[in-house]
Chain A
């Protein structure tokens, strides 16, 4: 490429660049007098510039600038409003000023600024939302705590009131019994003369019925309160489960007989099987479930099925009653919920209590029902088995040699009975009348277990436990006390007793507990 071609190409490139960038320019000497200016300055809204004139009279951004300093001005708006970028390029004789259309950069910059603004706004809104969320969370937590406190107060109030009701109620029931018995002793002809009219025995029966109903409601409220505050303890012991089911059937038969309801019991349980479970709580659950089924069934039948598979007890209560709608099925487990048939309602706690008790005993209550087709309630409970046919001393975990028990009990009525019952089960028993004698007996002899009363003269059961601890005696001690107070039990356990039986106890209670402690 020769020089001529070079010059032509360079000119072409320059033209293209000038056009593309919409480049305008002017040159001034160092006194800011115009030496040259491009024609297209008018495209940016500038007046035509005469050579020799002062540039500051034509172009305002030049006012006060130094003609010797190289400088890129920030994007400014030209008189016609077009964004321009300005570069000052000084040389020895002059200052050349290049003006380029910067619309694209300005647009991009504006876009970026807009995005930055939007981001900032989003961050601000996000922070604001976080603060609101945090406040809402705090308020929710506060409300939750208030609700928990209200629920605790409600339970505490109900328990307190129920407890206050229970004692006078037992007196009412007791005294009503006495009056009824007194009336039965006198001849029927004399009754109206003694109490005023012929209907008095019926009035008494009504008082008794109502008092007993009230007592059962109060008991439910108390149980609900205890369950709510986790005060109910399940006390498993060796239990003849067949007897429990037979009891429930006998108890509820009269209720079903007063209606056109047949109570059927299909109890497939081995007659001599003892299962380790809480018999009173199981009985309570069955009475609630079968009682409810009978109460809500007007015509038809209620069937109680019970069977054992291995060491699992299956229980089903099925009725031909009105059934429960799907909507109500979701509510029936709620405490205090009453069905629409208010004439048959109680406290609305029976099912709630039963469900919790079944859970505490290791099972789960399942309810299936459909309107017009009756209801089926079922549950399974773990029921570790012990058989009466086996000698007591071969229970799992108990030594093969005859079991030797030391009984510390000052009440001869109790000591005589417990001794005889244990001896009849093949257990060797020595008895002492106070804690001090128990400690002495343990110094001299070897026992598998100690049954210890608490309230004894000379040395209490608590003191005896402390003395045995101090002596390092590891013979397991089971406390047998008439006190059902939790604090007494806690004290005995703290002193190292291995089991706590509340009197009255029977021999199965003692053997069941011995089995647990020694296994």
Chain B
């Protein structure tokens, strides 16, 4: 079934797509912060960024970004830093691919 998409919605989607490189940079920043923070790292800011990305990316049809953000969120809760860094790197790549 062909879905009708209004020009307004198309414009909003385009704007979101255009913001993906910025979001990739945001993830890159989180990777740098986490890599340099040592044991004193605070994961709440990373969790917040991922939480927003999980919600918004899925709404715009980027299911892979949303799912990966959610998986990475679980790593912040479970404090699995190495795995989290790997997930963030993958997330950054995904964002760049979709941009």
A246 in contact with B1 (CB, 8 Å): yes
A242 in contact with B1 (CB, 8 Å): yes
- The total of chain A residues at the interface (CB under 8 A) is 32
Interface residue range, chain B? 35 or more
A482 in contact with B1 (CB, 8 Å): no
A175 in contact with B90 (CB, 8 Å): yes
**C-alpha spacing A271/B15, complex, angstroms:** 31
The residues of A that contact B80 with a CB separation of less than 8 Å are 167
**C-alpha spacing A271/B8, complex, angstroms:** 25
Partner of A414, one of B9, B19, B56, B74: B56
Partner of A421, one of B9, B16, B63: B9
Q: Does B76 contact A (CB under 8 A)?
A: no
The residues of A that contact B75 with a CB separation of less than 8 Å are 167
The residues of B that contact A240 with a CB separation of less than 8 Å are 1
Partner of A503, one of B12, B55, B67, B83: B55
Partner of B51, one of A166, A171, A416, A455: A455
The residues of B that contact A505 with a CB separation of less than 8 Å are 59
Q: Does A343 contact B (CB under 8 A)?
A: no
Which residues of A pack against B, CB within 8 Å?
166-168, 170-171, 174-175, 178, 181, 240, 242-243, 246, 271, 411, 413-414, 416-418, 420-421, 424, 455, 481-484, 503-506
Which residues of B pack against A, CB within 8 Å?
1, 6, 8-9, 12-13, 15-16, 19, 48, 51-52, 54-60, 63, 66-68, 70-71, 74-75, 80, 83, 86-87, 90, 93-94, 97
Question: Which 10 pairs of residues, A with B, have the shortest CB-CB distance?
Answer: A504-B58, A482-B55, A503-B55, A413-B56, A504-B59, A482-B54, A174-B90, A414-B56, A416-B12, A482-B51
* 19 residue pairs A–B, Cβ–Cβ below 8 Å: A167-B71, A167-B74, A170-B68, A171-B86, A175-B90, A413-B59, A414-B56, A414-B59, A417-B9, A417-B13, A417-B16, A420-B9, A421-B9, A455-B48, A482-B54, A482-B55, A483-B51, A504-B57, A504-B58
